[in-house]
Chain A
Amino acid sequence: NAGVTQTPKFRILKIGQSMTLQCAQDMNHNYMYWYRQDPGMGLKLIYYSVGAGITDKGEVPNGYNVSRSTTEDFPLRLELAAPSQTSVYFCASSYPRDTTNTEAFFGQGTRLTVV
């Protein structure tokens, strides 16, 4: 059982380049999330999705786009990379059967540097 798989693990981008961070889960979870974590800080929610075809903005969505065409995949797109987007990006998924059971499972993260 692979859980949540993120690719790539590391990436260096030049200012203005674009890229897609891939995230896939094989647990049939309907909820998926993208977070970023800056050094010494907590996780900030970028976008999340409650099911295929449905996405919503989190706390810091500017400069990013997402899509959710299938239950399994939730890619994150950076269109015009900026140094402020240098961060560690985590994808997560959960299956909230009820309001008391929303454990999120995380991928191993993508370390992105924009120079």
Chain B
Amino acid sequence: RKEVEQDPGPFNVPEGATVAFNCTYSNSASQSFFWYRQDCRKEPKLLMSVYSSGNEDGRFTAQLNRASQYISLLIRDSKLSDSATYLCVVNYAGGTSYGKLTFGQGTILTVHP
């Protein structure tokens, strides 16, 4: 089983749609969680951190369920500029692995007019 698994996608949605991505992680020692965005042929950039209480940043909402080892990202009112690959990232903080960031394989989102 992969350490971090994401919906395979790709997701093709019209502008204005709401889309949700899911991610599961296998190591219960994981301490912190993030969503990164990667544009074509560019480096990944932090979209948002994911907190236990859930958090929102404009049209983006992230949720964490530690019991189920599950993370989600919801995008409301999709824009053309949201088209990108979304990467789920988990930080393990056990033993000597503190600070080791592990990435999921990514989910491709295409928003069309």
Contacts and interface: CB of A to CB of B under 8 A. Distances in A.
Interface of A: 31, 33, 35, 41-45, 48, 50, 56, 58-59, 90, 92, 94, 96, 99-104, 106-109
Interface residues of B, number: 26
Contact of A48 (B32, B100, B106): B100
Between A90, A92, A104, A109, the greatest number of chain B beta carbons within 10 A of the residue's beta carbon is seen for: A104
A42 B7 CA distance: 12
Given A33-B101, A45-B102, A100-B49, 11 more contacts: A42-B105, A42-B106, A43-B44, A44-B103, A45-B100, A48-B100, A58-B100, A102-B32, A104-B101, A106-B43, A109-B43
Contacts of A99: 31-32, 91, 93
A22 to B, nearest CB: 16
Contacts, number: 66
B91 A102 contact: yes
A94 B93 CA distance: 14
Contacts of B49: 100-101, 103
A106 B103 CA distance: 13
